[in-house]
Structure 1
Amino acid sequence: MNQLITWRGAVCVLGLFAAASMASAGDIAATFSAPMFDRWMYPYNSANPQGSETEATVFSVIGSETEWAFDNRDGQMIIGYATGGAIPAGQPVANYRIRSARLIARASRDNAFVYDGTPDSFRTLLPMSDPDFLADEDAGQPIELFMCGYRGGWALTGPTAFGESTPFHNGAPFPFPARGIRNAFAAEFDAGGLLIDNSNNRDQRREVRPLAIGNADLPQGALVPRDTDFVFEIDLTNPQAIRYLRESLAAGQLNVVISSLAITEQQSANVPAFYCKEMPAAVGGVPARLELSVCVGHPADWDCSGVVEVQDIFAYLASWFAGDGDFDASGVTEVPDLFAFLTAWFGA
């Protein structure tokens, strides 16, 4: 409490100053109605050229006789957005304050899978004889949104940027086995801050933390009708998510992965599927849409006016007392955020 009283006193003194620095593009609400690319990442994707498929299925073959030869997350959907045209790239990552971020993907098949809008432990997919097996309390498996990681020399940007026509792996097409070799994959940061592959988290006995779980306007356990929108509201209390979004916006390119451990058989029609941008609108195709609200500029420009000034202090205090002042992007609003903000304000 003494810390807060001291800080409030400092705010009164700050009213004598008129510190200001121009550094901002301001408050930006950007909607990307279609991605730069979308790609079905599946070892037996026969689209020619790669990336020309009209839909992408996301599934697992856990339980099949050949599951040993394939990733747990066998079918994945990579979606990439060039953000630099709407949100200035190249700034320090702290200059991107993410207000909201969501992706909307539309189901392309009718009644092909069961809706599950809740997280499931990997333990629900272990054999029932396994001592760590956990019964699933609801039907189905969630559709999840992840960061995108790379191997084989591929990257987010630059001369080796992963794109729509990048091969599934650096080798002959249609590989068997096809486990742990995909050039782009569902990922998250590990404790050391490196992107790790989540494609086999069931076999690794490791829980994952997706950016978001897809939610639809359906009752739990219902069959999913064609043209159902899945909304992935990215969890901004997740410091990993904030870091990933900031780094992507600074690079001018945001790639994400839709994935699921929904169990099916390879080449089955009864599998979660989503429209790609190549599906003609005349037959109902709607590509995945990205919506971002971002304040770009000096992190102490809390009211996003383009100027760091006294008003930002009062704007920040209002956010902090409302529980929305996570200045250090730790995932929680707490006293250290106040002092981090003040340090940034004086340093502007």
Structure 2
Amino acid sequence: MTIGVVVSRGTAQSFDVTMPTTADRWMYPFNVTPGTRPAGSVFGYTPFPLEESFDNRDGQVIVAFDTGDLIPSGAGPGRYQIDRLVLEITLSGPASSEIDVTVDDWRTYLPSRTAEALPDLDPGRPIELFGAGFRFGYDLLTWTEDAPFSDGDIFGIENRNVFAAGIDANGGTFDVSSNYTAGFTAEPLAVARFPGYDAGEFAIEGAVATFEVDLTVPGVRTWVGEGLDAGRLVFAITSLVGASQGDAVLTQFYLRENPLVEVGVREASTLDLAVVIKKGCDVPGDLDGDCATTGGDLGIFLSLWNTDDSDADFNFDGVVDGADLGLILGWIGL
């Protein structure tokens, strides 16, 4: 499903789009079918005593969206005004843990007998959305869903080619795949909620995990703007919910290669975005965005006569009228 609405009038373009994933991948060290699995599971590995055999966020689902197909890239990161970002992905089976809509402190994963341990005051463990970071020469545009798990060793921590990444205040990324071992609480972009379910309930197959990103967090809009400028956004879905080899139930999500997705019965991940691309020049009276004030702008201005349009109300008195006409005529040179 691809839905797009574009509103354009010189000074800015507004985009309201919903797009399907263009690449998804279950990132797990022993995944022998990269890029072609029908589902991907999320689970954690939080051993005690601490050791570094595997990342704590062991099973991750990576989802990528080629945004440039619907939202023009290359405008410059600072010109993208992001007003809404919601990612959805559908369970391909029952969840392995109750719905938890809060971030859990890393110390709640420690055994209760340890001095640092904190109690987890609500049931379940959260499913969390992070940005994606890259290493070993991969980046936002060169990583593909069939790329190797690691160009290093599959054992150990912080060695994935693409990984769950926290976003710093400047829009930079850092690996949070082993935040438990490192001793810090990773702050996600969003925690999954399941419409139709309450916290503490178990979601079943077909339930939609909904991640509504808080765009007011410092650095998040910068990170998203850089992705839109490049034409691609990549995310990691993870959880620290425990799992054991042979578990009958793991929290799994549909990936785009799933037969039910291919025939339209179920959806893989989708991204819902509301974005405004602001004009790239600051010329008074330039209503058509060509960085000059000409007769074309005058025509647009006259079509807005006697409205409260903020772009054409040059003197900010709440109405487009003769006073504004005098200003634009002066800028044109008439």
User: Once the 2 structures are TM-superposed, how far is the Cα of residue 271 of structure 1 from its aligned partner?
Assistant: 1.8
Number of the residue aligned with 2:258: 279
Q: Structure 1 stretches of 5 or more lacking a match?
A: 1-20, 318-348
Taking the TM superposition and a 5 Å limit, the aligned residue runs for 1:233-312 are 233-281=212-260, 282=263, 284-298=265-279, 311-312=310-311
Could you tell me whether the CA contact under 8 Å between 1:116 and 1:142 is conserved in 2?
A: yes
Could you tell me whether the CA contact under 8 Å between 2:192 and 2:211 is conserved in 1?
A: yes
Separation in structure 2 between the aligned mates of residue 101 and residue 59 of structure 1, nearest angstrom: 24
| Aligned equivalent of 1:189, options 167, 177, 182 | 167
Number of the residue aligned with 1:44: 30
User: Once the 2 structures are TM-superposed, how far is the Cα of residue 244 of structure 1 from its aligned partner?
Assistant: 1.2
Give the length in aligned residue pairs: 283
Number of the residue aligned with 2:110: 126
Separation in structure 2 between the aligned mates of residue 283 and residue 93 of structure 1, nearest angstrom: 34
Relative to structure 1, the CA distance from residue 218 to residue 64 in structure 2 (aligned partners, 3 Å threshold; closer, same or farther) is farther
Relative to structure 1, the CA distance from residue 62 to residue 314 in structure 2 (aligned partners, 3 Å threshold; closer, same or farther) is farther
Secondary structure at 2:211 match in 1 = strand
Could you tell me whether the CA contact under 8 Å between 2:171 and 2:220 is conserved in 1?
A: no
Secondary structure at 2:98 match in 1 = coil
Taking the TM superposition and a 5 Å limit, the aligned residue runs for 1:93-112 are 93-112=77-96
| Aligned equivalent of 2:21, options 35, 51, 54 | 35
Separation in structure 2 between the aligned mates of residue 189 and residue 258 of structure 1, nearest angstrom: 14
Separation in structure 1 between the aligned mates of residue 112 and residue 32 of structure 2, nearest angstrom: 35
Indicate the structure (1 or 2) with the bigger Cα radius of gyration.
2
Number of the residue aligned with 1:204: 182
User: Once the 2 structures are TM-superposed, how far is the Cα of residue 312 of structure 1 from its aligned partner?
Assistant: 4.2
Relative to structure 1, the CA distance from residue 294 to residue 81 in structure 2 (aligned partners, 3 Å threshold; closer, same or farther) is same
Secondary structure at 1:105 match in 2 = strand
Taking the TM superposition and a 5 Å limit, the aligned residue runs for 1:162-181 are 162-171=143-152, 175=154, 177-181=155-159
- What TM-score results when the alignment is normalised by the length of structure 1? 0.74
Could you tell me whether the CA contact under 8 Å between 1:112 and 1:269 is conserved in 2?
A: no
Could you tell me whether the CA contact under 8 Å between 1:277 and 1:285 is conserved in 2?
A: no
Taking the TM superposition and a 5 Å limit, the aligned residue runs for 1:224-239 are 224-239=203-218
Relative to structure 1, the CA distance from residue 312 to residue 248 in structure 2 (aligned partners, 3 Å threshold; closer, same or farther) is same
Could you tell me whether the CA contact under 8 Å between 2:43 and 2:58 is conserved in 1?
A: yes
Separation in structure 2 between the aligned mates of residue 191 and residue 283 of structure 1, nearest angstrom: 39
Query: Are positions 1:55 and 2:39 aligned together?
Result: yes
Number of the residue aligned with 1:79: 63
Separation in structure 1 between the aligned mates of residue 166 and residue 15 of structure 2, nearest angstrom: 26
Identity value in percent: 33
User: Once the 2 structures are TM-superposed, how far is the Cα of residue 224 of structure 1 from its aligned partner?
Assistant: 1.5
Could you tell me whether the CA contact under 8 Å between 2:52 and 2:181 is conserved in 1?
A: no
Number of the residue aligned with 1:342: none
Indicate the larger mover: 277-286 or 145-154.
277-286
Separation in structure 2 between the aligned mates of residue 125 and residue 44 of structure 1, nearest angstrom: 24
Separation in structure 2 between the aligned mates of residue 313 and residue 102 of structure 1, nearest angstrom: 32
Separation in structure 2 between the aligned mates of residue 211 and residue 111 of structure 1, nearest angstrom: 21
Summarize deviations over 1:287-335 as a string: whole Å, max 9, x none: 101110111122899xxx86699814989x9xxxxxxxxxxxxxxxxxx
User: Once the 2 structures are TM-superposed, how far is the Cα of residue 40 of structure 1 from its aligned partner?
Assistant: 0.3
Could you tell me whether the CA contact under 8 Å between 1:300 and 1:312 is conserved in 2?
A: no
Separation in structure 2 between the aligned mates of residue 297 and residue 207 of structure 1, nearest angstrom: 36
The letter of the residue matching 1:311 is S
Separation in structure 1 between the aligned mates of residue 10 and residue 201 of structure 2, nearest angstrom: 52
User: Once the 2 structures are TM-superposed, how far is the Cα of residue 193 of structure 1 from its aligned partner?
Assistant: 5.4
Separation in structure 1 between the aligned mates of residue 107 and residue 288 of structure 2, nearest angstrom: 49
Separation in structure 2 between the aligned mates of residue 314 and residue 211 of structure 1, nearest angstrom: 38
Separation in structure 2 between the aligned mates of residue 299 and residue 192 of structure 1, nearest angstrom: 22
Separation in structure 2 between the aligned mates of residue 274 and residue 130 of structure 1, nearest angstrom: 34
Secondary structure at 2:310 match in 1 = helix
User: Once the 2 structures are TM-superposed, how far is the Cα of residue 207 of structure 1 from its aligned partner?
Assistant: 1.7
Number of the residue aligned with 1:140: 124
Separation in structure 2 between the aligned mates of residue 218 and residue 236 of structure 1, nearest angstrom: 24
Summarize deviations over 1:210-266 as a string: whole Å, max 9, x none: 111111131222121111001100101112221111010000001011011111113
Q: Structure 2 stretches of 5 or more lacking a match?
A: 1-8, 292-300, 302-308, 317-334
Number of the residue aligned with 2:306: none
Secondary structure at 1:94 match in 2 = helix
Could you tell me whether the CA contact under 8 Å between 1:262 and 1:272 is conserved in 2?
A: no
